[in-house]
Amino acid sequence: MIMSGRGLRLTVFLDDTDTWNHRPMYTEIVHRAHAAGLAGASVFRGLEGFGATNVVHTTRLLSMADDLPVAVVIIDTEEAVRAFLPQLDDLLIEGVAVLDQVEIVHHRGAGREEP
């Protein structure tokens, strides 16, 4: 799919220890996004952060190396991302999800040729 123009970015912030049915929550979100046919999803692991508990977790201290931040970023058209949002509802995510308007300058799926 070749896409450019206005889009929507969904970023879901989680802890790396969050799970769904015995597998990482970020993996579940990526697989649901893939099954929904979204343009793409990536997972980024943070080195340091804090959330609602106000406890800073960092890789610098072995005792605090649990619950590191993870961000799942999904970008597609606004319609596609908004249609995907209900799939997050039953995951009982204890993180934060944000939406941002973005300008997609180029996206071409694998194996696709320019028209």
Name the strands in the sheet holding 69-76, side by side, starting at the edge strand that comes first in the sequence.
40-45, 69-76, 2-15, 96-108
Considering Cα of 53, then 57, then 21, then 88, what sign does the dihedral take? positive
Helix, strand, or coil here: 13? strand
Cβ contact 107:40 at 8 Å: yes
The per-residue pLDDT for range 5-61, each reduced to its tens digit, is: 899 999 999 988 899 999 999 999 999 999 999 999 999 998 877 777 777 777 665
The per-residue pLDDT for range 62-108, each reduced to its tens digit, is: 555 567 889 999 999 999 999 999 999 888 777 789 999 999 887 66
Question: How much is the pTM?
Answer: 0.81
CATH architecture classification, 2-102:
2-Layer Sandwich (3.30)
